[in-house]
Each structure stands twice: as structure tokens, then as C-alpha cells.
Structure 1
Amino acid sequence: MSTQRSPAHSSTFEYRLAQEANSLRAQAKGMPLGVRRTELLRKAKQIDVAGEMNKWLTSPGLQPPS
């Protein structure tokens, strides 16, 4: 029988995003310069931006960009 995760996550979305970004950076750190390393670092940056967007979207004082 497979076990499924309950809908209540043990960590926040922002925390999981940060963990994934850190994991990608750690992978890239051990690689030589090249396309794959660049892709990993770009993905980590995209995840950082997603976390910032999430903070903005979930903030109580949401203001439109100016």
C-alpha cells in the first residue's frame, strides 16, 4: 500500500522553494562551467523570484506595482 502525503504540508511553500533553490545551487557548485551549470543557476534564480512574488501576492497590504 502506498502512503500519500496529507494535504497539510509540514513546511511552508516559501521554505520548500528556498530548499529547492539551495539544492540547485549545491548541484551547480560541483559542476564545471558550462550549459548545464548555467541552467541550474538560472532555475535557482527563477525559484527565488517565485518566492518573492509569492510573498508579495500573499502580503496583507498588497499594493499594485508602481
Structure 2
Amino acid sequence: MRGTKIAKARFGIFFNSLEDARMTQRRNRVKQTRSLEERMAEQAAKLKAMAEQLPAGAEREAILKRARLAETGARINDWLGSPGLPPPE
């Protein structure tokens, strides 16, 4: 796709390549209202509830693994934000 002209009609911007067009895209910015720890803990709780609905098997184990990872991430984030805690064991 190099060398092709890509037009952005809404803004009247022309790019020489697709790579140039991607470089100018704006990111969606979201102001978080809850802490990362709270969001990860909520995700872990939702995943555990989903796993309870499933019969024993590979899918249930995969969901429980994701829940454990979310809980671990919440604890690590809490540990990183605390100045006086010892490193995890």
C-alpha cells in the first residue's frame, strides 16, 4: 500500500501511505473513576460467578485461572502503591 494516497475527507488530510494514516489516529482517553485494584477485584468476582455456572472442565478452569490472575494483579498493584510493605513472598 506504499505510495497510495489515502484521503480523510472529514478533515481534508491526505496521507502518502497507510502507515502515515495510522500514526495520526487519536487514542480514546478515558478518565477512570475507580482504582485499578477495584476494577480488577470486580473482574475477578464476575469471572468466579461465571465459573460457578459452568460444569467442571477446561473452560471452567480457564475462567478460574483468569480470576486468579485478576486477584493477583490487584494485590500487586496494591503492593506497588504501598511504601512500607515488604516484597511479596
For 2:70, the equivalent position in structure 1 comes to 47
For 2:10, the equivalent position in structure 1 comes to none
- Partners of 1:64 and 1:42 in 2: CA distance: 23
- Partners of 2:29 and 2:47 in 1: CA distance: 26
Instruction: From the two aligned structures, give the one with the greater strand fraction.
Output: 2
1 or 2 for the larger relative contact order (CA 8 Å, sep ≥6)? 1
Q: 1:65 to 1:45 in 2, by over 3 A?
A: closer
- Partners of 1:64 and 1:33 in 2: CA distance: 35
Paired residues for 1:1-66 under 5 Å: 7-64=30-87
Instruction: From the two aligned structures, give the one with the greater helix fraction.
Output: 1
Q: Please say which structure displays the higher CA radius of gyration.
A: 2
User: For residues 2-42 of structure 1, what are the alpha-carbon distances to aligned partners after superposition, in whole Å with 9 as ceiling and x for unaligned?
Assistant: xxx76431111111001100110011010000000000001
Instruction: Tell me the TM-score normalized by structure 2.
Output: 0.60
Of all paired residues, the percent bearing the same amino acid is 34
Q: 1:28 to 1:64 in 2, by over 3 A?
A: closer
Report the RMSD for the aligned CA atoms in angstroms.
1.9
